[in-house]
């Protein structure tokens, strides 16, 4: 069985950054396994710009952003195995895979980084009533057809959900000559980045219907239209508010789900809220030596943060296989989600393993204007972060100083969000 | 001139064609869609009923039990997925228990083996997730699950391999008796045939009326379903029914042969023979009913909703008989539930009827089954190695949810009835059936299908004719026309 120091599963932005960083941190033999015929992951079909503002301080397209990391990877001794599908990962870090060149084989890894990304929620997951004609696509599948294959998926479009891919596709379809009749969002706020609402809908006069949903898809063989209804506060359609939209295509942008079939098969603990692995500060999962980063852990808005998180995972993976003896057993502080805060990542922090501070990411449960994020422990407020605006569609990042974590009472701190106190 | 023409290639028509293709006769099958198994066959509970429901003495009872007994061996011969998981009918109160005793009586009269009534404790012991409020259950060890479209495709492919002529895209427009033979106009084709078998499913009344006096009407009933992710597939180990009522066998919960959980159906009057839409009310009904059987079913793990239309009629039995007024015309109609269970017996039944009205069926010496090729993931290590050396594309996983390789997809294209659509590929090798519902593999299957068949990318259909996915190429001149 071939041995590697670090095996990275996935050559999207997470895998590429993790592999480069593992190399920088002294990992000797690195293998990156990618299912597709090219590295870059989903960035390859994201031909719009807006990537890299944080990391490179400039605006790149998806393929350009990926390209920079591919080039970095090419300057390492990491082995990139394309067109190869990982079928199983075991607790003791044996990885079985298959490809047309080598058939079925297994390698042994000193450390593993899981970087499989996420998949899109489908029509079946949300149960849209109506017929089942062709012309209902997830936004990402449509993006692949348009940007990679060079084919249009429709002429008159209604978009359900205001996730970023849906918004980007609203603009893309418009630029390719299609008519986007509406973007329909169940929630009273958008789930996408504000800049995408402005640049992809507003700039093209595409109406956004908040608190609305598609209550029926019509059409025999191909979509012929959709019925859109307003929903009440509980998300239930309000009778009498039905409106018919003539369209031949429905694009769904109704959420992304981390792809954790391999994690599950390895026996890694998953968080039911993120649907990704429970991770420590260095992106280590519940199984020592198996790390995870990027959208396989939790769905990000910006690739720049995927990169940062994956660099942490890559460095930690290199560190793990360099050590002869694993420390283990250090105390860990649980990061708990308080009021209005969805799941945090990481969920646990070992203060002994961090330098000065630890980064914590999460989403809030509703839209806030002037607000505060509060970190508390044992009823004592440790620190407060001011925010002018927060929304579920935009991931929040805070840093918690090491000393707060060392002194956390009961081994836990709670992160919560609330309206700012009036001055 | 064909000896026999079968109209309709769902599981009933395919089963009839399969049986007839064993004989030294010429057989044609006409199907209005672009593929086999596109109607009720692809949208049902995928259950092999043990046979305790139908009233003793009916054709339905006899063919259900006979079909159920034949099913396992048939599936083994054709390599179609089948599992004898056993089934339970739950009782929630004394009245239900009475119903179970009636079902037991019927089952015994129908010749169903191994039926028994379980106490609440016995039932919960066998199926711990069930509602602890149940009062007991009828257990049928011969209840089973099967891949319904896989069975139809395997039987149709075997028929074709043994000489049957399959005419796809051929809706029947007219059937005229020319004295001693019929002329059938179907799509672009005109066929001459001595005998006709009507297996047209929800359209069977219309087909009958083209050749014979109208005597039954299909009153289509729509059944809505949930299909849940494989993480729910082990919630129950048996098929769990509720006590039957006037409107049908009620909502069941069952593992599928693919490892998912199927939940449904409703039973509402359909708005026509192809009314396969789902409704918010229908889906809610399914959820509510299912949670009464087992509170653990997690509907958030839904991967697909669908509805099927059952070919119900005013009477409770199948209509499988020679026409009383049209000579050499046999109806295999009103095949509602348990039609799938009965399918292995309906073919031989129709053959007997044809023989009784003069068709001579001598067994073919060189009849061979077309076994469904094994999927790469189900092969032994040695078979996998052989497959890979034969075609390295068995090493390229296209559908990641179901681990279906390019080799598996190419294999479907070499079958006797190759797929012409993306769903046609799915029906033959499961690509796109998983939790992402073809989100990742759809475009790749699309490309392979286009490359291998020569159908231009823009013309590839999702499923039936008219279900094209693409509307043209993107502009090449940066927006300039």
- DSSP letters for B452-471: HH---GGG-BSSSTT-BS--
Query: Can you tell me the distance from the alpha carbon of B183 to that of B176, in angstroms, rounded to the nearest whole number?
Result: 5
- In this structure, chain B runs to a length of 481
B478 to chain A, any CB pair closer than 8 A? The answer is: no
Q: From chain A, pick out residues whose CB is under 8 angstroms from the CB of B405.
A: 98
Give the β-pairing of A290-292 and A103-114.
parallel
> What number is the average pLDDT over the span B48-64?
97
Quickly tell me which residue has 């993480």 as its tokens.
B231
Q: Which CATH number fits domain B376-459: 1.10.150, 1.10.10, 3.40.50, 1.10.155?
A: 1.10.10
CA dihedral A46, A48, A53, A54 (to 10 degrees): -20
| Catalytic residue (choose from B49, B238, B258, B446) | B49
Which of A140, A150, A222 faces B473 most closely, judged by CB atoms?
A150
User: Does domain B83-144+221-310 fall into CATH 3.30.9.10?
Assistant: yes
In sequence order, what DSSP letters do the residues of B203-243 get, joined into one string? GHHHHHHHHS--------EEEEEEEE-GGGTTS-SSEEE--
> Per DSSP, what are the bridge partners of residue A222?
A134
Nearest CA in chain B to A85: B397
Do residues B423 and A124 touch, judged by C-beta distance below 8 A?
no
> Shortest CA distance to B309 belongs to which of B339, B281, B287?
B339
- Tell me which chain A residues have a C-beta less than 8 angstroms from the C-beta of B443: 141, 144-145, 148-149
Residue of B nearest to A134 (CA): B467
B238 is catalytic: no
- What is the rounded distance in angstroms from the CA atom of residue A102 to the CA atom of residue A85? 11
**pLDDT band of B246, cuts 50, 70, 90:** confident
Longest Cα pair distance anywhere in chain A, in angstroms?
69
Output the six-digit token pair for A292.
Answer: 């995870």
Coil vs helix vs strand at B442: helix
Inter-chain contact B474–A144, Cβ cutoff 8 Å? no
- Find residues 128-167 of chain A whose CB sits inside 8 Å of chain B: 129-135, 138, 140-141, 144-146, 148-155
Three-state SS string over chain A comes to: CEEEEEEEECCCHHHHHHHHHHHHCCCCCEEEECCCCCCCHHHHHCCCEEECCCCCCCCEEHHHHHHHHHHHHHCCCCEEECCCEEEEECCCCEEEEEECCCEEEEEEEEEEEECCCEEECCHHHHCCCECCCECEEEHHHHHHHHHHHCEECCCEEEEECCCHHHHHHHHHHHHCCCEEEEEECCCCCCCCCHHHHHHHHHHHCCCEECCEEEEEEECCCECCEEEEEEECCCCCECCCCCEEECCCEEEECCCEEECCHHHHHHCCCECCCCCCECCCCCCECCCCCEEECHHHCCCCCCHHHHHHHHHHHHHHHHHHHHCCCCCCCCCCEEEEECCCECCCECCEECHHHCCCEEEEEECECCCECCEEEEEEECCEEEEEEEECCECCCCCEEEEEEHHHHHCCHHHEEEEEEEECCCC
Query: Distance between CA atoms of B247 and B285, rounded to whole angstroms?
Result: 14
Secondary structure class of B427 (helix, strand, coil): helix
Mean pLDDT within B359-368 = 96
> Does A125 touch chain B if contact means CB atoms closer than 8 Å?
yes
Report yes or no: B439 at the A interface, CB cutoff 8 Å: yes
Long-range contacts (CB closer than 8 Å, 24 or more residues apart) made by B121-125:
B123/B88, B123/B90
- Residue among B350, B345, B318, B315 at smallest CA distance from B333: B318
Query: Distance (Å, rounded) from C-alpha B372 to C-alpha B389?
Result: 20
The verdict on a CB contact (< 8 Å) between A237 and B280 is: yes
With CB atoms and an 8 Å threshold, state whether B439 touches A155: no
B221 vs A394, higher pLDDT:
B221
Distances (CA, A) of A6 to A37, A95, A290: 21, 11, 10
Count of H helices and E strands in chain B? Answer: 12, 23
From chain B, pick out residues whose CB is under 8 angstroms from the CB of A129.
Answer: 277-280, 283
Q: Answer whether A177 sits within 8 Å of B277, measured CB to CB.
A: no
Q: Identify the weakest region by mean pLDDT among A265-279, A297-311, B46-60, B235-249.
A: B235-249
Closest chain B residue to A145, measured at CA: B443
Residue B391 distance to chain A (closest CA, Å)? 8
Among candidates A85, A119, A222 on the partner chain, residue whose Cβ is nearest the Cβ of B468: A222
Exposure of B155 in the CB half-sphere (CA atoms within 13 A): 30
> Is residue B192 scored above 60 in pLDDT?
yes
| Mean pLDDT taken over chain A | 95
Mean pLDDT across chain B: 96
- Residues in A 56-95 with any Cβ partner in B closer than 8 A: 83, 85, 87
Q: Flag whether pLDDT at B230 surpasses 50.
A: yes
Shortest distance, CA A154 to any CA of chain B (angstroms): 5
Interface mutation target, options A149, A249, A253, chain B, most CBs of B under 10 Å: A149
Residues 228-247 on A with a CB inside 8 Å of B are 237
Asked if residues A347 and A396 have their Cβ atoms less than 8 Å apart, the reply is: no
> Which chain B residues are within 8 Å of A133, Cβ to Cβ?
467
Q: Residue B90 has what pLDDT?
A: 97
Q: Where are the beta strands (DSSP E) in B229-364?
A: 239-241, 252-255, 261-264, 268-269, 302-310, 319-322, 329-333
- Mutation pick from A87, A119, A124, A272 vs chain B, by most beta carbons of B within 10 Å, is A124
Chain A residues touching residue B426 (CB < 8 angstroms): none
For an interface test with A, which of B306, B389, B467, B477 has the most A Cβ atoms less than 10 Å from its Cβ? B467
Rounded to whole angstroms, how far apart are CA atoms A413 and A376?
Answer: 6
What does the block give as tokens for B327?
């000579």
Instruction: Say whether residue B470 is in contact with chain A using an 8 A CB cutoff.
Output: yes
* Angle at CA of residue A196, ends A190 and A200, nearest 5°: 110
**How large is the average pLDDT for residues B232-250?**
91
CB contact under 8 A, A141 and B440: yes
Instruction: Give the separation between CA B191 and CA B208, rounded to whole angstroms.
Output: 17
The residue extents of the domains of chain B are: 1-82+145-218+311-372, 83-144+221-310, 376-459
Q: Give residue B42's Cα distance to chain centre.
A: 5
- B134: contact with A, CB 8 A cutoff: no
**What distance in Å separates the CA atoms of residue A258 and residue A118, rounded to the nearest whole number?**
4
Place of tokens 């049957």: B164
User: Encoding tokens for residue B234?
Assistant: 């082990």
Which pLDDT belongs to residue A325? Answer: 72
Lowest average pLDDT, out of A196-210, A306-320, A391-405, B344-358, goes to A391-405
Interface test with B, best of A102, A106, A119 (most B CBs within 10 A): A119
Return the SS3 of B182: strand
pLDDT tens for residues A74-117? 999 999 999 999 999 999 999 999 999 999 999 999 999 999 99
What pLDDT is recorded for position B478? 35
Do A127 and B447 lie within an 8 Å CB cutoff? no
pLDDT digits (tens, 9 = 90+) for B136-189: 999 999 999 999 999 999 999 999 999 999 999 999 999 999 999 999 999 999
What's the rounded mean pLDDT across residues A385-411?
91
The topology (CATH level 3) of B1-82+145-218+311-372 is FAD/NAD(P)-binding domain (3.50.50)
Interface of B with A in 321-340 (CB under 8 A): none
Query: Considering only residues 104 to 123 of chain A, which have any Cβ-Cβ distance to chain B shorter than 8 Å?
Result: 104, 119-120, 122-123
Please determine, for residue B481, whether its predicted confidence score (pLDDT) is greater than 70.
Answer: no
Task: Say whether A221 and B466 touch across the interface (CB within 8 A).
Answer: yes
Checking if the pLDDT of A230 tops 90, the result is yes
If you measure CA to CA, which chain B residue comes closest to A150? B474
pLDDT of residue B287: 97
Q: What is the mean pLDDT of residues B65-91?
A: 98
Cα A173 to chain centroid distance, Å, stands at 23
Chain A 299-318, CB below 8 Å of chain B: which residues?
none
The pLDDT confidence band at residue A315, using thresholds 50, 70 and 90, is very high
Burial tier of B146 (Cβ tally within 10 Å: 0-12, 13-18, 19+): buried
**B442 pLDDT band (50/70/90 cuts)?**
very high
Dihedrals φ, ψ of A149, to 5°? -85, -25
Query: Binning pLDDT at 50, 70 and 90, where does residue B476 land?
Result: low
| Residue A176 touches partner B, C-beta closer than 8 Å | yes
Considering only CB atoms, B437 lies closest to which of A124, A148, A221, namely A124
Adjacent-strand bridge partners of A160 = A184, A252
Q: Smallest CA–CA separation between A216 and chain B, in Å?
A: 8
The reported pLDDT for the residue numbered B108 is 98
Mutation target for A interface from B299, B443, B480: give the one with most A CBs within 10 A.
B443
Residues 271-310 of B with CB under 8 A from A: 274, 276-280, 283, 302-306
- Among B residues 186-245, those touching chain A with beta carbons less than 8 Å apart: 226-227
Taking CB atoms and an 8 Å cutoff, what residues of chain A touch B169? none
B412-446 burial: b if 16+ Cβ within 10 Å, else e: bbebebbbbbbbbbbbbbbbbbbbbbbbbbbbbbb
């Amino acid at each position: 069985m071939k041995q590697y120091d670090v095996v990275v599963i996935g050559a999207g932005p997470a895998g590429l950054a993790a592999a480069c960083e593992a190399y920088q941190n002294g990992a000797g033999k690195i293998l990156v396994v990618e299912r597709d015929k090219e590295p870059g992951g989903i960035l390859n079909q994201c031909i719009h710009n807006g990537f890299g503002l944080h990391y490179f301080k400039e605006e790149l397209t998806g393929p350009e952003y990926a390209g920079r990391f591919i080039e970095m990877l090419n300057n390492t001794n990491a082995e990139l195995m394309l067109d190869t599908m990982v079928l199983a990962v075991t607790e003791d870090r044996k990885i079985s895979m298959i490809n047309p060149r080598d058939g079925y084989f297994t390698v042994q890894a000193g450390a593993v980084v899981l970087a499989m990304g996420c998949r899109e929620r489908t029509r079946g997951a949300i149960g849209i009533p109506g017929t089942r004609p062709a012309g209902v696509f997830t936004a990402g599948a449509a993006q692949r057809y348009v940007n990679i294959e060079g084919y249009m998926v429709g002429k008159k479009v209604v978009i359900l959900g205001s996730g970023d891919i849906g918004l980007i596709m609203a603009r893309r379809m418009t630029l390719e000559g299609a008519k986007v009749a509406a973007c329909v969002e169940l929630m009273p706020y958008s789930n996408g980045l504000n800049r995408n609402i402005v640049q992809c809908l507003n700039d093209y006069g595409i109406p956004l219907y908040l608190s609305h949903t598609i209550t029926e898809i019509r059409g025999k063989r191909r979509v012929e239209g959709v019925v859109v209804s307003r929903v009440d506060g509980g998300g239930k359609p309000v009778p009498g508010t039905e409106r018919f939209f003539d369209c031949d295509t429905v694009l769904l942008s109704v959420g992304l789900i981390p792809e954790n079939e391999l994690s599950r098969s390895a026996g890694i603990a998953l968080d039911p809220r993120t649907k990704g692995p429970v991770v420590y500060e260095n992106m280590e999962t519940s199984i020592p030596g198996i790390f995870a980063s990027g959208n396989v852990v939790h769905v990000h808005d910006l690739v720049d943060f995927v990169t940062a998180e994956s660099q942490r995972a890559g460095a930690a993976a290199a560190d793990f296989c360099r050590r002869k003896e694993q420390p283990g057993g250090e105390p860990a502080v649980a990061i708990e989600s308080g009021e209005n805060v969805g799941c945090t990542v990481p969920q646990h922090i070992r203060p002994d393993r961090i330098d000065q501070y630890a980064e914590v990411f999460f989403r809030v449960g509703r839209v806030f204007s002037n607000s505060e994020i509060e970190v508390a422990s044992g009823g004592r407020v440790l620190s407060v972060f001011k925010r002018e605006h927060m929304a579920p569609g935009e991931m929040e990042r805070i840093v918690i100083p090491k000393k707060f974590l060392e002194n956390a009472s009961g081994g836990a701190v709670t992160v919560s969000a609330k309206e700012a106190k009036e001055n | 001139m064909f000896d026999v023409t079968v109209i309709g290639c769902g599981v009933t028509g395919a089963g009839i064609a399969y049986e007839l293709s064993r004989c030294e006769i010429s057989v044609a099958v006409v199907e209005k869609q672009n593929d086999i198994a596109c109607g009720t066959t692809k949208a049902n509970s995928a259950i092999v009923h043990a046979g305790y429901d139908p009233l003793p003495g009916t054709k339905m009872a006899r063919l259900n039990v006979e079909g159920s007994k034949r099913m396992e061996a048939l599936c083994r011969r054709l390599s179609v997925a089948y599992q004898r998981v056993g089934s339970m009918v739950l009782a929630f109160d004394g009245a239900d228990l009475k119903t179970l005793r009636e079902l037991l009586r019927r089952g015994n009269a129908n010749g169903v083996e191994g039926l028994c009534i379980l106490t609440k404790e016995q039932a919960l012991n066998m199926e711990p997730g069930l509602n602890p409020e149940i009062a007991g259950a009828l257990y049928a060890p011969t209840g089973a699950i099967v891949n319904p479209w896989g069975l139809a495709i395997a039987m149709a492919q075997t028929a074709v391999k043994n000489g049957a002529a399959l005419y796809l895209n051929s809706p029947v427009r007219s059937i005229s008796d020319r004295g001693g033979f019929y002329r059938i106009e179907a799509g672009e084709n005109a066929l001459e045939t001595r005998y006709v078998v009507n297996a047209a499913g929800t359209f069977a009344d219309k087909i009958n009326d083209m050749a014979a006096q109208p005597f039954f009407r299909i009153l289509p009933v729509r059944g809505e379903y949930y299909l849940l992710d494989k993480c729910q597939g082990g919630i129950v180990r048996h098929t769990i029914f509720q006590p039957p009522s006037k409107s049908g066998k009620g909502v069941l919960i069952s593992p599928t042969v693919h490892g998912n959980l199927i939940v449904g159906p409703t039973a509402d009057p359909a708005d026509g023979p192809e009314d396969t839409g789902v409704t918010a009310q229908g889906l809610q009904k399914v959820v509510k009913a299912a949670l009464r059987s087992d509170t653990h079913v997690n509907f958030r793990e839904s991967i697909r909703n669908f509805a099927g239309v059952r070919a119900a009629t005013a009477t409770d039995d199948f209509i499988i008989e020679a026409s009383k007024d049209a000579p050499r015309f046999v109806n295999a109609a009103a095949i509602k539930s348990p039609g799938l269970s009965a399918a292995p017996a309906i073919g031989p039944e129709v053959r007997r009827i044809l023989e009784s009205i003069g068709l001579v069926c001598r067994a073919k010496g060189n009849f061979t089954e077309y076994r469904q090729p094994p999927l790469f993931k189900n092969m032994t290590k040695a078979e996998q190695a052989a497959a890979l050396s034969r075609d390295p594309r068995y090493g390229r996983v296209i559908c990641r949810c179901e681990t279906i390789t390019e080799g598996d997809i190419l294999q479907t294209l070499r079958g006797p009835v190759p797929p012409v659509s993306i769903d046609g590929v799915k029906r033959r090798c499961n690509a796109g059936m998983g939790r992402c519902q073809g989100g990742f593999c759809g475009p790749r299957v699309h490309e392979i299908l286009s490359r291998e068949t020569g159908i231009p990318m823009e013309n590839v259909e999702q499923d039936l004719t008219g279900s094209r996915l693409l509307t043209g190429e993107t502009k090449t001149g940066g927006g300039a026309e």
